[in-house]
Each structure stands twice: as structure tokens, then as C-alpha cells.
Amino acid sequence: MSFVKKDIVLGAVPFLFLNKYIFTRKAQIITCKNIENDSTLWQFDISQFGTYKDKKIFADKEPEVRQREINRVYYHNNKIIVTLSRAIIALNPETRQLLWKIDIKEFNPYDIIFNGSIGYVGDGLYYVVIDIENGQKIYEREFDHTLRVNIEGYSLSYILYNGLTLYDNYIWFTYGTDGKRFLLKADPRNGNIVDGMLLETRLPTHPPQFDENRMYILDQEGNLYVY
């Protein structure tokens, strides 16, 4: 086995290798380069979507105007899918053509949980379901922070939809309140909590991981719990 060394100047963070192409991101620009000859095939600049305003917090102060930022970049169903400030977009990886853009008015989407042609996005009290093929919102909801869910005798409210995982056709995530940590199981179609359990750890955790009949919970101090 032999390898041929090639010096390629990226100048940005690579996020995808696809055949002979490498895709990078830097600031507001996504770039596609040919590895064989170190040529730039295309660039896509998200600044074309303009600025956005933060949510208004103080009645006597106007919200701050901000530049859009790239949050996450995925390759799914032959599309480059990008979460950015107040939007999700899909690009053709060969031509940089904008296939669709979904505006998210209330929050900045980061992580997408994919299930075939469907994507699930959670952030705090917000939960959105999107159609990856057609670029449409299927479901969108801001949960009432006073809504209560009973888990093992505890009445939970102000549940935040962060760190989601899809397993066995349900959305799973952990939630902490009053020095306790809970595992929550939600209907992916609407985000409604259908079950849950009190965890041993009291600390924030990474998204739960599953392997056949086992679940793994890793907290922020590196303690691993196996269920």
C-alpha cells in the first residue's frame, strides 16, 4: 500500500469529504474544493440572507441587529443541510444551488435529528419538525412554560428541548430541575412528553445513547450510567 502526499491549503474547517471533494466552512462561507487539483469549485455565502434581530428582552431597548452565523452543517439525503441564524437551508453539493430555505423566526437552530426525510429540531421551549425533501415546516410549537408533566411523582415544568436523540421512534433527552435529572421520552410528531424516569446523576448530561436494549447516560463530569 502506498500513499501520495498532497499539500492542500484549506484555510477553513473541513466538515465533509465526498469522493474527490472536500467541503469547508469559515465565518459565513461554505466552500467546495477538488482534492485532486486543489481548485475551488464553488462558494456559498450566507450573508446574502441579510441580518436578523434578536428577540426583544427589555421594553425600553430595541433588539440588537446581528450578522447571520453558520451553526451546523450536515450531509443527508444527497443534500448539504445547514442550520444558521434564524434559518435552515439545503444546497446541492455539486452546484451550490439553494434547494430550499426554512425561516425560523423565534430561535437559532443548531442540531437536527434526522429520520429519513424528516428532521427534528429542538431549542429550549421550541420544537420544530421539518420535511427534508420539500423544505417545509410540518410542525412548529413553543411550549407553555407553565405546562406540567408528572414523572415518578415529580411535577415538571419549563421543560427545555435540548440534546435530543431519536431511538425506537421516540425523541429522548434529559432535563434538570431542583437538583435532579430526568430522562424524558417524547412523541416526535409534536414533542409531547409520554414517559420519563428519574436518573441517578444530578448533573447536566450529553444526549442519551442507545445500543440494542441498553441506554448510556454520560454526565458532564465523565460519569457513565448504563441502564
* pTM check: above 0.85: yes
Q: Do the domain assignments include residue 181? A: yes
Q: How many other C-beta atoms are found inside a 10 Å radius of the C-beta of residue 29? A: 14
pLDDT of residue 12: 74
The answer to whether residues 170 and 91 belong to one domain is no
Q: Do the domain assignments include residue 209? A: yes
The answer to whether residues 34 and 99 belong to one domain is yes
Q: Do the domain assignments include residue 52? A: yes
The answer to whether residues 92 and 155 belong to one domain is no
> Can you tell me which residue has the cell 410528531?
189
pLDDT digits (tens, 9 = 90+) for 111-153: 999 999 999 999 999 999 999 999 999 999 999 999 999 999 9
Asked which of 50, 76, 104 is the last residue of a domain, the reply is: 104
Asked which of 104, 135, 161 is the last residue of a domain, the reply is: 104
Question: Residue 80: CA atoms inside 13 Å, Cβ hemisphere, count?
Answer: 25
Q: Do the domain assignments include residue 120? A: no
Task: Please give the Cα distance from 104 to 127 (Å, whole number).
Answer: 11
pLDDT of residue 16: 86
Q: Do the domain assignments include residue 114? A: no
Spatial contact of 138 and 120, defined as CB atoms under 8 Å apart:
no
**Count: domains in the chain:** 2
The answer to whether residues 178 and 99 belong to one domain is no
Asked which of 104, 135, 157 is the last residue of a domain, the reply is: 104
Tell me what the pLDDT averaged over the chain comes to: 92
pLDDT of residue 126: 97
pLDDT band at 9 (very low <50, low <70, confident <90, very high): low
pLDDT(59) > 70: no
pLDDT digits (tens, 9 = 90+) for 195-207: 999 999 999 999 9
User: What is the mean pLDDT of the segment spanning 2-31?
Assistant: 77
pLDDT band at 5 (very low <50, low <70, confident <90, very high): very low
Q: Which of 78, 71, 73, 72 is nearest to 18 (CA)?
A: 78
pLDDT digits (tens, 9 = 90+) for 149-195: 999 999 999 999 999 999 999 999 999 999 999 999 999 999 999 99
Structural domain that includes position 211: 149-226
- With the C-alpha atoms ordered 209, 114, 105, 99, is the resulting torsion angle positive or negative? positive
The answer to whether residues 83 and 166 belong to one domain is no
The answer to whether residues 157 and 100 belong to one domain is no
Check which CATH number belongs to the domain holding 183 and give it. 2.40.10
Under 8 Å CB-to-CB from 81, ≥6 apart: which residues? 73, 74, 75, 88, 89, 90, 91, 112, 119, 132
Q: Do the domain assignments include residue 156? A: yes
pLDDT digits (tens, 9 = 90+) for 24-48: 998 899 999 998 888 999 999 999 9
Q: Do the domain assignments include residue 124? A: no
Check which CATH number belongs to the domain holding 30 and give it. 2.40.10.480
pLDDT(7) > 60: no
Alpha carbon distances (Å) from 31 to 38, 85, 91, 184: 12, 18, 12, 38
